[in-house]
Amino acid sequence: KQEVTQIPAALSVPEGENLVLNCSFTDSAIYNLQWFRQDPGKGLTSLLLIQSSQREQTSGRLNASLDKSSGRSTLYIAASQPGDSATYLCAVTNTGNQFYFGTGTSLTVIP
């Protein structure tokens, strides 16, 4: 069964800093990997989707990389802002349907 781990569990940074969130998974035969943002009491907002054949995806200040062979993905956030404060979730699927989620990284960006 796919196991997804995210470190750190919590991160606090001053505004403007660049940061990296980590995600690791046990079964490298993934279909794709998706990064989400979750605000308190809210649903999941899709940030980036990386297909199994891709190495990275970029959207604005966000860049996600994928190293399938080592079972790792990173989410890089450039020039962090207070509005980036949220929980970031990594999820992988082996079939395109069932996603396995990590426990998330709770990010606080201090003004």
Residue number with CB closer to other proteins (71 or 102):
102
What are residue 58's phi and psi, to 5 degrees? Answer: -130, 140
> In the set 22, 28, 31, 56, which binds other proteins (CB under 8 A)?
31
Structure tokens given for 91: 């999820």
The answer to whether residue 59 forms part of the interface with other proteins (CB under 8 A) is: no
Residue at token pair 């993905």 = 73
The answer to whether residue 60 forms part of the interface with other proteins (CB under 8 A) is: no
The answer to whether residue 49 forms part of the interface with other proteins (CB under 8 A) is: yes
In 3D space, the residue among 1, 30, 24, 12 whose CA is nearest the CA of residue 102 turns out to be 24
* Binding segment (CB under 8 A) for other proteins, from list 15-23, 41-49, 66-74, 77-85: 41-49
**Coil, strand or helix: which one is 77?**
strand
Structure tokens given for 18: 């660049």
The answer to whether residue 102 forms part of the interface with other proteins (CB under 8 A) is: yes
